[in-house]
Amino acid sequence: MSREITVTIEQEKYTTTITDNIHTLIADEPAEVGGQDKGFAPTQLLLSSLGSCKVITVRMYADQKKWELDKVIVRLSSEVKRSVQQQTTYIKCHISFEGNLDDDQKKRLAIIADRCPVHKILSNPIVIDSNML
């Protein structure tokens, strides 16, 4: 079971502290939009979650298969397109593998990367229930 995440913002404009009571992370906005650029922007954190999940899932699979995977690199970017009816976010994931792997193994790892838990979350409807405490 995952630990609850707490995000707080105080006096430093957009700088936020993210914690699960064990780990702490700083998020911020770039200086050009009024932040202090002390950490990743929220959209970068979202992409980081997806990329981290993909490489960890691939590593676990390769380890189970005892494949010689030395390194996995995922480069991510996003673009938002708006129309009158909806907003669509396009996330591009470019994945590469290093190691003693044949083409079939690389193709299989690419499929496995798309089966990571965060990819599944983002690919399905999400309901966010916000309320005041």
How high is the pLDDT of residue 4? 94
SS3 63: helix
In the chain, domain spans: 1-38, 40-121
What is the value of pTM for the model shown?
Answer: 0.91
SS3 94: strand
Tell me: the pLDDT tens digits for 42-83?
999 999 999 999 999 999 999 999 999 999 999 999 999 999
CATH class held by domain 40-121: alpha beta
Q: Inform me whether the pLDDT recorded for 1 exceeds 80.
A: no
39 touches 27 (CB < 8 A): yes
Euclidean distance between CA atoms 91 and 18, whole angstroms:
24
Contact partners, residue 67, CB within 8 Å, separation at least 6: 99, 101, 105
Sign of the four-CA dihedral 48, 51, 57, 61: negative
